[in-house]
Structure 1
Amino acid sequence: MTYRNPVLDADWSDPDVVRVGDDFYLTASSFSRAPGLPLLHSRDLVNWTLVGHALERLEPAAEFRTPRHDCGVWAPSLRHHDDRFWIFWGDPDQGIFQVNAPAIRGPWTRPHLVKEGKGLIDPCPLWDDETGEAYLVHAWAKSRAGVKNRLTGHRMHPAGTSVLDEGKLIVDGDRIPGWFTLEGPKLYRHDGWFWILAPAGGVETGWQGAFRARDFFGPYEERIVLEQRDTDVNGPHQGGWVRTPSGEDWFLHFQQRGAYGRVVHLQPMRWDDVDGWPVIGDDGAPVREHRLPDLPPQPPAAPATDDDFPGGRFGRQWQWTANPQVGWATHHSGDGLRLACVRTADAHDLRRLPHVLTQRLPGVPSAVEVELTLHGEEPGARAGLAVLGDAFSWIGLQRGSDGDVHLVHRFAEAVALGAPPTPSGQWGKERDADHPRLAPGGRARLRIEIGAGARCRFAYDVGDGLRPSGPVFAATPWRWVGALLGLFALAPAGPGHAGAASFDAFRISPL
C-alpha cells in the first residue's frame, strides 16, 4: 500500500510534528488569524484531522484588533516534555512566545514572552535528557532585525520561561558557500550529536539542510539532505522529523504553491550507516508516492471543510482575520451561520476587515458553494463569499438605496510593492466584475469553481438556475500566506445595528 504527496493539500505552513505514544500531532503557522496555532492529529502520518487550536487570541491584543496578514505567529515548534505539550513561536515584531498544556486539546496557557526583541523568529527548544540542560535556537528576520541567514543559540530555563544568556551565533550561513536565507531550525539530540534541521535558499527554490555538533554551541558541520533535483516539487524544505514506535523515521515538510500556500509532504528518512547523516526522500530527492509508514491502517481522513453551522456555531476549520469581538456571530437554536453586518469605514476593502471568517483554499480543483440570505435593511449592507489574498474577489448580496437586494460580484486588484497609495489605501480599489441584478427575497446560492492555477470562476442562483458571473479571477497569495476563502457581512459606518446575514450549507467538493 502506498500514499501520495502532498498529505495535506492546503496551506498548513511551516509544519512541525511530534509523537506521543501511538499518536502524532502537527502544528503550523497561523499568522494573524484567530484562533491560531492549529492542532492536527494522525495515527499513520498520512490521514490528518484538525482537533483544535492552541491560541485562542493573539497578544498583545491591541496589536491584532485589525488584520496583519503576514505578521503574528511564524513557524512554531511543537514538543512534548515533562508530560506537557509545548509550542514555541516567533512573532517578528514582539519576540519569542510559548504556550503549554497537559493535553493536546488543552487547556493551553496564555502566551508567555520567553525572549523579547525584533526579528526573532522560528524558535525551537530542546530539553536534553543526556545533560539535563535546556536549550533554545532561533533564526532572524532581516525585515525587523537587519540580519538574516544565521542561527542563534541560548541556554534556556528548564521551565521554558526565559533564556539564561545573551545568545551565541552558532551557525553563520554567510560563511557557507551558496547558502542564503537560513531559517526554520528544528533542534534534536541523536546518536550523541546535537542536530539542527534547517532550510535555506528561500521558500520557492530552497533546500533542507542538516547541521551537527558534539556541543550545542558548535562548531557545526553541514550537509544538504533534501532538494528538488529533477522532480516537480520546488523548494522542498522546513519541517520536522518524527520516529514511529517501530523505529521508522519520517520527515514532514512544506512545498510553496503560490495561491495555494504551503502544502505538506511526507518523506521517508533514514540515518546513513556509514557517516551517520540523515537521508531524506529518495536519496535526497522528494518522493511523490511511497509505501505507507509501518503503522496500523487508518480510514481516510482530512481536515474538515464542509459546515452546516449547527446552532450558529462554526467548525474548527474557520478563523477570523484578527482577534474576534463579541457579537460578530450569533448562536441560535437552528442550523446556519448568522453574521452581524458589522459597520465599518473600510466597507470596500475586505483585506482590512477583522470580521471575515476564513478557511484555507483547497489545493485541488474544487467547487465551493454556500447559501446566503441577507437580512440587513440598511442601504449598503452586504454579505458574500470571497477569495481573499493580495487581490480579492467576492460574490454576494447587497441592499440598494431603492430597498431591493441585488446580486453583486466585485473584485480588487493588488497594487505592486512600492506603488503610491490609492484613494482606498494601500491596495487597489474595489470594482464591479459583473452587472448587479435583483435577488428576489434577498436569497442566493453562491458558487466558486477553483480550477488549475487557482483560477476562479464565479456563479450564482437567485431562483432561476445557476448562472456564471464575471471574468475568471486568478487567486493570489499574501506575502507568506496562501489565498483564503471567506464569509463576511458588513454595512457602511453609522449609528445603530445594521442587521445580519445567514449562511447555510457550506460545501467544498472536488471538480
Structure 2
Amino acid sequence: MSIELESAAHLAPHALAFSPEIAPAVTRRSYDHVVLPGDFPDPTVTKIGDTYWASATSAEWGAVFPLFTSQNLIDWELVGHVFPNKLPDWAGSNFWAPEFHCENGRTYMYYTARKKGGMLCVAVASADHPAGPYTDHGPLVGQEAGSIDGFAMPDENGDLYLIWKEDGNSCYQDTPIWAQRLNDERTALIGEATELFGNDVTWEGPLVEGSALVHHNGYFYMFYAGNSCCGKGCNYATGVARSRALLGPWEKYDQNPILDRNTTWKCPGHGTVTQMDGRWFLLHHAYLADSHEFVGRQGILSEFTWNADNWPEFERRSPQAAPIRDLARLNIADEFGGDRLGLEWQWPIGQQPVAAVRNGQLHLQADGSRLGAVVARRSHVATYKAATTLDLAKLPADTYAGLAAVGDPYNALAIMAGNGKVQIWHVKSGKQQSLVQVFVDPCDTITLRLEVWGGQRYRFAYSTDGATWLALPTDNFSLNGTYLPPWDRGVRVALVAQGDEGNSAIFNNFIILNKR
C-alpha cells in the first residue's frame, strides 16, 4: 500500500544539503549556507587530498560520528561512521566533538566520550583512510571534573599538542583550556600540561570550550565558544584568541564575541576553520530560530576575513546563511530498497536493534523495553507530516509497532498498532502510558501518520485503505510535545517495535514531508 499524504518529488537519500542558484559572473559567490541540516552539533572539517571531510557530535545516537565528504564545502555526502556498529569497550555515552588530524597518510579522530561509570574523557581513534575502519586507542586524558573537546595542533617547533577543555562548569568551577604534548604514536600524552586560558570575560559566562586552532601570519588563532550551548535558554557565541607561541601567552580579542546570534540563528559556536580558493570559513553549529531545540543545532558554513589588525571578522558578526527554502529537497521517502538500511538511520546508543531489509520491506525485531526497538531519522524542520505502512496481518500477537517522535528512549510520543487496536503512547521520564486506543477491523496493512506543528503540537491518524484518514481523538485536539527534546539533541522520527524479542514488525515504507 502506498502512503498518499500528498505529492512530493523523489529525493536522494543522501541529500543533506542544497546547492545555491548560480550567481551572475560578476557576483562573488556566497558560501554562507546550511550545509549539514538537522541535528549535527560541534562539526569538524578538514581537507585530505582534494576532498573535504566533516563529522559532528553523535551524543546518544548511533552510529557514532558520521563521516561526510565534499568537493566544494556546500554539498556533502554521508559515506560512513567512525564507529559504525561496535562502540569502544571503555566508553558508554556522550560521544561529542570529534576532530580530525591527518599526518603521514594516517587519519586521527580525537573525540569525547564518557568512561563507563566514570568521567568524560578525550580519546583518539585512527585509520589508514579517513573513511576507516578506525582503531580505537582509548582515553588520553580524563580529569576529575571531566575533559572534553580535544583538538590536535603542532606548535611552532612542529611538536604535536592536544588542546582540550577541563569541564569545570559541570561542578560549578572554572573551565581552563589545557595543552599537553602527544607522543610520536599520537596515542598518549607526555610531559606536563600547560594552562592556556580560562573563562575570565563576562560574555563567556560559566565556560570556554570547543577550541579550534589555525596558524596564520605568524600567530596561532584559537576559535572558541563561550557561555551556554544548548536548549531553550542557550546564549552561546564564538570568540577568538591569539598567541605567537602555542603555549602562550594568549591574547583575547577585545571585540569578542566575533560570531553571535541574530534574528535567524541562535547560539552559533563550536566550529572548525577551513580554507578554499584563498577564502576562510568556519564550519560551526547554530539553532535556527524558527525550530530551535526541536530540530537541534545545525551545521552552518560562515565565511570570515582578516582585518587590518590581523583579527578574523564575520559579516555583521553573525551567521549570514539563509534558512533552507526548498524544504522538499529534505523530504524523506524510503521504500526500503537494497539489502540494508541507509546510513542516515540511527538508534539509541547501546541499543542497536536487529533490523533487516529484504524485498522492499524493513523487518524490525521487537524489544520489550518501554518504547521498544527504535530506528530513527533526524528531523529537519519543526513542522512536518510523517507516515509509515505496517504489514499488520503479519504482526504477531502481543507485539506493537508504529511511528514515534523521539527525544530519547525515555521521552516520546507514538502511534502504535497491534492486538486489533491503534493507540497513542505517551512516554515521559521513562514512564509509558496509553492515552487513546481505538479498535480496528482486521486488515492486511495499516498506515499510521503523525503531524507536528512547531515541534509542539501533535496529531495522529491512521488509514486502512491508504486514502481515508481516521483521527485518533484527544481531549485538546492535539498533544503537547514540548517535553520531547533533551537539552542537547533534536527530535527524531522513528519506527518502533515493542514486544517479545523473537517477534518482528514489517514496515513497507517511511515518509517525512516538511512544512513551513
In the superposition, the TM-score normalised over structure 1's length comes to 0.82
**1:126-155, CA deviations, whole angstroms, 9 ceiling, x for partnerless residues?**
135x52200111113246666343211111
221, 229, 242: which is aligned to 2:274?
242
1:225/1:269 CA distance change after superposition, 3 Å: farther
Contact preservation (8 Å) 1:185, 1:199: yes
| Amino acid aligned to 1:377 | P
278, 285, 295: which is aligned to 2:312?
278
**1:432-477, CA deviations, whole angstroms, 9 ceiling, x for partnerless residues?**
3433221523531122223334543322212361223342442531
Match of 2:437 in 1: 435
Match of 1:219 in 2: 249
Superposed displacement of residue 113, structure 1: 2.4
1:230/1:37 CA distance change after superposition, 3 Å: closer
Which structure 2 residues correspond to residues 54-453 of structure 1 after superposition, within 5 A?
A: 54-57=82-85, 59-61=87-89, 64=92, 71-92=93-114, 93-118=119-144, 119-128=146-155, 130-142=156-168, 147-173=173-199, 175-180=200-205, 181-203=207-229, 204-223=234-253, 224-228=256-260, 230-244=262-276, 246-256=277-287, 257-272=292-307, 274-280=308-314, 282-289=315-322, 305-323=332-350, 328-330=354-356, 332=358, 334-342=359-367, 344=368, 346=369, 349-350=370-371, 355-363=373-381, 365-374=383-392, 375-379=394-398, 381-389=399-407, 391-399=411-419, 405-413=420-428, 427=429, 429-438=431-440, 440-441=442-443, 443-453=445-455
Size of the alignment, in residue pairs?
A: 460
Match of 2:8 in 1: none
Task: Establish whether residue 48 from structure 1 lines up as the match of residue 76 from structure 2.
Answer: yes
1:508/1:122 CA distance change after superposition, 3 Å: same
Contact preservation (8 Å) 1:209, 1:225: yes
Q: Counterpart of 1:315 in 2: which secondary structure? A: coil
Q: Counterpart of 1:231 in 2: which secondary structure? A: coil
Q: Counterpart of 2:294 in 1: which secondary structure? A: helix
Contact preservation (8 Å) 1:445, 1:462: yes
**1:20-66, CA deviations, whole angstroms, 9 ceiling, x for partnerless residues?**
243222100002322200011222222222111111246454864xx
> Partners of 1:60 and 1:104 in 2: how far apart?
18
Contact preservation (8 Å) 2:407, 2:486: yes
Q: Counterpart of 1:435 in 2: which secondary structure? A: strand
Q: Counterpart of 1:7 in 2: which secondary structure? A: strand
Superposed displacement of residue 108, structure 1: 1.8
1:148/1:302 CA distance change after superposition, 3 Å: farther
| Amino acid aligned to 2:460 | F
> Partners of 2:87 and 2:432 in 1: how far apart?
31
1:112/1:499 CA distance change after superposition, 3 Å: same
> Partners of 2:69 and 2:62 in 1: how far apart?
19
Contact preservation (8 Å) 1:95, 1:121: yes
Contact preservation (8 Å) 2:331, 2:512: no
Range moving further from structure 2, 90-99 or 21-30: 90-99
Task: Establish whether residue 467 from structure 1 lines up as the match of residue 470 from structure 2.
Answer: yes
> Partners of 1:269 and 1:54 in 2: how far apart?
30
> Partners of 1:220 and 1:44 in 2: how far apart?
33
Match of 1:295 in 2: none
> Partners of 2:32 and 2:172 in 1: how far apart?
40
> Partners of 2:336 and 2:442 in 1: how far apart?
24
> Partners of 1:166 and 1:487 in 2: how far apart?
49
Q: Counterpart of 2:190 in 1: which secondary structure? A: coil
- How well do the aligned residues superpose, as a CA RMSD in angstroms? 2.8
Superposed displacement of residue 96, structure 1: 1.4
- Gapped runs of 5+ residues in structure 2? 1-22, 24-29
> Partners of 1:452 and 1:324 in 2: how far apart?
29
| Amino acid aligned to 1:468 | A
- Gapped runs of 5+ residues in structure 1? 65-70, 291-299, 400-404, 414-426
| Amino acid aligned to 1:318 | W
In the superposition, the TM-score normalised over structure 2's length comes to 0.82
Task: Establish whether residue 27 from structure 1 lines up as the match of residue 42 from structure 2.
Answer: no
Range moving further from structure 2, 367-376 or 22-31: 367-376
Contact preservation (8 Å) 1:225, 1:279: no
1:433/1:364 CA distance change after superposition, 3 Å: same
Match of 1:420 in 2: none
Superposed displacement of residue 301, structure 1: 12
Superposed displacement of residue 219, structure 1: 1.3
